[in-house]
Structure 1
Amino acid sequence: MWTMIEGFQSLSHEEIDALVGAPALITILVGAADGEIDREERKWTERLLRTRTYNRPKELNEFYRVVVSDFWTKVQSEMDRLPTDVDARNSALSDRLEKLNPILAKLDVDLAADLYTGFVGLAEETAKASGGFLRIGSISAVESKWVKLPMLTPIEHHREVEDEDQDFDASDDSGD
């Protein structure tokens, strides 16, 4: 059950829900920054989130298991409630994501840094997913405004961490 996610015991149910919902909001913010979330953005986002259910950092595996459960249903539900105007939608999403800062501040700094790094990584991979040649130079101007999640306060680790590039290697794609 999501209330038993290791490291989240100091948070209320509403705060945990906000963190679990963040990847859907980030996917919409970046993936639909240019209007709609396309097929490639959906595919890459889902692959990245699924790899995080069993990859590094291990402390967040259960968190990402909860995130991927009915992920696209959550995305669609959010899209249905958000403004249809792209600028208004992005502003609303930015405001909601900004509210994660005090929640992240309640967590152990390394856990919060892992979440922050994961959120930014998700935004970057979603932005790279469509366009460009072999996903190189594929971040559009409108996506680049949001890809670093400027509404979130950067959080740095206190412990040494391995390079997260090992977390998701697109070259390992089996060609599906």
Structure 2
Amino acid sequence: MSDTTLENRDADTGGGFQIFRTETAPILDEAGHMEYSDVTPEIEAGIAAAGEAGAGEGQLVKTLFSRPGFSLTYAWFKSGFPLPLHTHNVDCLYYVVAGSLQLGIEKLEAGDGFFVGADKAYRYTPGPDGVEVLEFRTEEHFDIKFLAKTASMWGKIAGKAAERQAAWAGETPPSAKH
């Protein structure tokens, strides 16, 4: 049986084997697995300002796999991407595929990872080459709640995105450098 036959059969039946491919994986927002929670007018305006400043150019986030009780997301955040302080309503396990990130006082590199329990606030900063991570979650559907709530905080995020946009244009995923 060919890979394509297995892939199609199990996708249709929900069987115990399924192939996924990064190249054809949907963008997280398009997949509809993540809901924005507790969005105030200030947060909505901040998200819009960050988008207008080019934040979308600093990230690529795809849903690789999902089914009830499990999801796997690939995220590439380019160098210095201003990830806002946020929570998710489910447990998350992160694995650094390539590049590096700063999480508090800890620098994590390829092969490292971290666990974040449901509703625990966190953020990290991608290193000079950016970072690629796999995000394993204990649910197919989950939320994101931004804790950056003021115009001033979102102004800093938008300013960082605008400052980094030119550098991001030439960046490639850190895994492509090896």
TM-score by length of 2: 0.28
Greater percentage in strand: 2
Greater percentage in helix: 1
Structure showing greater radius of gyration is 2
TM-score by length of 1: 0.28
